[in-house]
Amino acid sequence: MRVQVLLFALFREQAGRARLELDLPPGSTVADAKALLEQQYPLQLSGGLAAINERLAQPGDLLQEGDELAFLPPVSGGSFAGNTEGDDSFGLTHEVLAVQPWVDWACADPYGAVTSFLGTTRSPNRGRAVTHLEYEAYPGMAEKVMRQIIAEMRERWVLGRVALWHRLGRVMPGEGSILIVVSAPHRPEAFEACRYAIERVKQILPVWKKEYLPDGSYWVEGHAPEGHQL
């Protein structure tokens, strides 16, 4: 059987290509595909994630003819259109993130608290000057994961409006890379949900950043969630 393989960020650079086709015997798993790719290309996929048809997969998951299999490095911890679904708004954008419009959007009479978080590029980082960051994403899957994270938040707390937006492309020092705004009837829920959102983003959102220094650049990696590591 034949599957379509997508590679992102560090894995794309290691292989020298972003997309390829892989022929596998029927009954093959994600782990089988990983092993074959590491034989055929200068790839080190261990520690990353895999997704089948834009859903996170485990090494033992079976593959089917025509599947889209993506290998994702550990996430780092024009624009793509975002989504507004009722009281939720989320997406990826190349535009500068502005906090106040989203705070205004989240405010409404039933809500006694609005929290916001803006993650920014810092320089120096670990004692070294940073000229800029470059972000890239797996767009279709990222949208699904954002929706999942917001759903998890709503399962845990009574919330009002939730905004979750992430920058792509070049982000300069002092500029925002991720924006989270949460409103709720009471402040504990708003604070806790906002903190939960950024921690889940760092775990599972398929967005990667490359840090550029005056003398070089490197991909910033986090840690894959338990049960999904390759």
Please say whether the structural domain 83-220 has been given the CATH code 3.30.230.10: no
Classified by CATH at the fold level, domain 2-72 comes out as Ubiquitin-like (UB roll) (3.10.20)
User: How high is the pLDDT of residue 140?
Assistant: 86
Helix axes 187-204, 139-156, angle to 10 degrees: 150
Alpha-helical regions (H) of the chain: 9-15, 30-40, 99-106, 139-156, 187-204
How far apart are alpha carbons 53 and 72 in whole angstroms? 13
Where does the pLDDT of residue 86 fall: very low under 50, low under 70, confident under 90, or very high at 90 and above? confident
Where does the pLDDT of residue 17 fall: very low under 50, low under 70, confident under 90, or very high at 90 and above? very high
96 bridge partner residues: none
Where does the pLDDT of residue 78 fall: very low under 50, low under 70, confident under 90, or very high at 90 and above? very low
Residue ranges per domain, the chain? 2-72, 83-220
Q: For the CA atoms of 161, 167, 171, 173, what is the dihedral angle to 10 degrees? A: 20
User: Which residues are CB-neighbours of 59 under 8 A, at least 6 positions away?
Assistant: 29, 30, 31, 34, 50, 230
Phi and psi torsions of 76, nearest 5°: -90, 85
Q: CA dist 26 to 2, 20, 33, 51, 97, Å?
A: 9, 18, 12, 19, 46
